Structure 1
Amino acid sequence: MKMNFKGSGRLRKGICQNALPYPCKPCVVPLINGDRAIIDPQKDTCISKKVYYYGTYEEGTSDLIENMLSDGGIYVDVGAYMGFTSIRAMSQINENGKVYLIEPNPWALKRLKKMYRLMDTIRRQL
């Protein structure tokens, strides 16, 4: 359920932060599309916090991906960082499509590889 009234963002943020304390070590969190992601609150405080509390990052981009990509599509993520939008794209295009990630930051690239190994393991268990 989306709350779309003036001040709803602040209300949502306050409820989340008071009801759910922020973790102090890396953990796996659910995303709104049903996938999982790894966050690292010690290394990344901004994006990880949004993903932890809301299950998404850049909601407008996620909506665009959902509306424009279909089964068998191709998605290129330049500056993939932690791969949150790529996870959404992978869900949309399924096994018939391709997702290409470009990430120059060594720390983020290591995190990306770890996250995609986790996703592969989860999908094999379903």
Structure 2
Amino acid sequence: MGLPKANRLRHRNQFKAVYQKGERCSGKYLVLLLLREVSPNDVSPPQVGISISLKVSKKAVVRNRIKRQIRAILQGLLPQFPQGLKLVVIVKPQAQVCQYEDFLRELRELLIKLEVLYGY
């Protein structure tokens, strides 16, 4: 099961805006780009996109497995995200050997560093 349609970045221009204007934070396996669209009457839901290139793996099976794992993690964290947030997760080539727990730990660390989550 994927993310709800309202919470997905789907168009090239949405990704492009986050790439150009967003804050960047990187870890061992992932890079996060974050764009906070702050307006007083903004009620748009947080949106997330995942970018994974052929450099990670030539096999679609491997790339799709990584995307499914990241989507599952983000689905659990989505209610904690503020309104108007746009997030792009870029997967690095080292992530091919990464397990679910590693993705979970790194995503939480990067989101805390970007001050989206405030930790436990």
Q: TM-score, with normalisation over the residues of structure 2?
A: 0.33
Higher strand fraction (1 or 2): 2
Higher helix fraction (1 or 2): 1
Instruction: Give the structure with higher Rg (CA).
Output: 1
Q: TM-score, with normalisation over the residues of structure 1?
A: 0.32
